[in-house]
Chains A and B, each alone.
Chain A
Amino acid sequence: MKADNAIDLVNVTKKFDEVTAVSKFTVEIRKGEFFSLLGPSGCGKTTTLRMIAGLEVPTEGQILLEGGDVSSTPAYRRNVNTVFQDYALFPHMTVRKNIYFPLKMKKISPSEAETRIERVLRLVNMEGFGNRLPQQLSGGQRQRIALARSLVNEPAALLLDEPLGALDFKLRVAMQKVLKDIQRNVGITFIYVTHDQSEAMTMSDRIAVMKDGLAHQIATPDEIYNNPSTAFVASFIGDMNFVHGTVLDNDGKTCVLDVEGQKVTAKRAVDLGKGAAALVCIRTERVQVNPHRSVENRVSAELSRIIYRGTDYEATCRIGRAELRAVVQAVTWDAALRVGGTVELAWNAEDVIVFPREEEKDVIKYSGEAV
């Protein structure tokens, strides 16, 4: 609970009747940080955001805003602003009046307000749109105005609830960059809710990955990608192979497993004893097909499907009953490979992640790109 934190959540819990939406969430969000709450729908990310905004009151726990307890402060007295999923621009007000609204509530003089409105319109690159009505703007433009309206009061933190969800793919990607640039410009803490893992990965300084009200991991994108703390996180982010294995040997630094009768080595701390049922995970792009260099793990497999995806090929291979997918850059793909042939698959021991088998139920099957 350092004083330079923008927001502290301490054991924050929210129950709706008997359903627990958020369970004992603790996190420190630093000033100027781009922090994302990522998870599938119903994971409690929006509820968490609404509690920070003051639109929901936590059942237990504390919310601190710049060090001060705001747990029971109503939304209109909190120095945080939200960009809603559908923007919630007031349809009966022009763009200018929409942005003026929070200033008016703070009783800021019209002349002062005018300069601030102009400044924030410039920031979102929407000068000259002040007299339009929200209905006369495109989705992306509305998005920018909603952003401007939430920023004009210079809040301690800006909360964004799936702000790009309503936009089409290309616009979404463009807006991601805009958002990131604006955040860097104004230096305000952003708390960003999304179910789109690639969006969270591109923009965030840190991500909290949530499921069923629990924060599974709170870390940097790099950490989350390379060292997922649970099988759920591993499956939700990126493209991951999951195969069953049994621990043969484990000295705390290196773990040797049996996968379909072949040996697989994992070079990392695994908390499983000899003979334990394990879930072995390898990123698809870390699996090499017929490698030239020698690596620790080598298994032979039968090539069962090839899918060409433009920049890369996805090769599905069978090892006994298990299935492994390898994603290979198109430029390095060996055109001689055919379905039904035998290939050698290889990967580094550092790239093998091992979880207890019980976590298999948390694995999200078709994560891929966000739908």
Chain B
Amino acid sequence: MKRRISKPGEFIKGVPIAVWLLALVAIPLIFTFIMSFYSSSGLVIDRTLTLKNYKLFFTDPLYARILFKTIRLAVAISMLSIAAAFPLAYMVSFKVRRGRNLLFMLCIIPLWVSYLVRIIAWRTILGNRGVINSALMALGLIKEPLTFFLYNQFAIAITLTYICIPFVFIPVYTALEKIPRNLLDAANDLGANELRTFYNVILPLGLPGLVTGFIFSFIIALGDYIIPLQLGGTQGIMFGNLVWSQFGFAFNWPLGAALGFILFIIAVAILGLTSKFGSTEGGFLGE
């Protein structure tokens, strides 16, 4: 018995949020889209419309290669995050009786710990004179510090996984919590052992949360440029760095706008998929 469209007078409530949406989201996006058709010569932006930037993206193999590398790494990070967060969510949701709230809090606290602090921590751990190397040297296992920890894709992957784990944990945990416990009793009653209950009941019902978690971590990993700058070194250049550098030392804003817009399209396409296959509720903020 719901009206499909409210009375026109009601729409006045939408004015503030519409203003915000236009000023900080829609118009900036349109400006970016327009700028992506400009070109840059030296420090001057040429405002004649051209497809040059997009042509460059599709013809110069560098861009496709880095985009592909970024996507591959983002997928790997998402898988790692799931591998860490799913069992954790399963454990907290099903295997723990006492102290469940505490464990839950412990799982999501890292979400609110400063991004920069986490980067600092991992640089400290993985660095040449870092925690791992010092420990190994102190134990006499190595003489010279190992250099393969930092400034490569491994360092990016481990740090981003660290950041993404809570983002996977929350939607998965929310999905698992919704599974009626009597369903498990029913499965046990029907003679399914734990493994089969897991495959036939828990996994399918937890899947929407899993998809949401996957996509969150994928998006986070896809667009990050600070972590590659800090921990990636030369072989850790990601698509985000490519975008960033156009606004920094390369100073080619139109190309940056085009690359940014391409990233936007990819992200929106993937988020569109989430709304189709994932659970939207309990997604990120816990309410």
Contacts and interface: CB of A to CB of B under 8 A. Distances in A.
Assess A/B contact in the complex (Cβ within 8 A): yes
A21 B4 CA distance: 15
A16 B2 CA distance: 7
A5 B117 CA distance: 73
Contacts of A47: 1
Contacts of A21: 1
B3 interface: yes
Main secondary structure of the interface of B (DSSP, over half): loop
Interface string A55-94: 0000000000000000000000000000000000000000
Most buried by B among A17, A19, A21, A47: A17
A47 B1 CA distance: 9
Contacts of B4: 17
Contacts of B2: 16
B161 to A, nearest CB: 42
Nearest to B5: A17
Interface centre among B1, B3, B4 (most CB of A within 10 A): B1
Contacts, number: 8
Nearest to B1: A16
Interface size of A as a range: under 10
Contacts of B3: 16-17
Nearest to B4: A17
Interface in B1-31: 1-4
Interface string A7-31: 0000000001101010000000000
A243 B1 CA distance: 36
A176 B1 CA distance: 29
A21 B2 CA distance: 11
A19 B3 CA distance: 10
A19 B2 CA distance: 10
Contacts of A16: 1-3
A146 to B, nearest CB: 23
A319 B4 CA distance: 52
Interface in A15-53: 16-17, 19, 21, 47
A21 B1 CA distance: 8
Nearest to B3: A16
B9 to A, nearest CB: 13
A230 to B, nearest CB: 24
A104 B54 CA distance: 66
Contacts of A19: 1
B8 to A, nearest CB: 15
A81 B208 CA distance: 44
A48 to B, nearest CB: 12
A199 to B, nearest CB: 23
A47 B2 CA distance: 12
A16 to B, nearest CB: 5
B1 to A, nearest CB: 5
Interface in B44-83: none
Nearest to B2: A16
A262 B113 CA distance: 86
Nearest to A21: B1
Contacts of A17: 3-4
Interface in B73-131: none
Nearest to A46: B1
Nearest to A16: B1
B7 to A, nearest CB: 10
Interface in A120-148: none
A192 B2 CA distance: 23
Nearest to A19: B1
Interface of B: 1-4
Interface of A: 16-17, 19, 21, 47
Given A16-B2, A17-B4, A19-B1, 4 more contacts: A16-B1, A16-B3, A21-B1, A47-B1
8 contacts: A16-B1, A16-B2, A16-B3, A17-B3, A17-B4, A19-B1, A21-B1, A47-B1
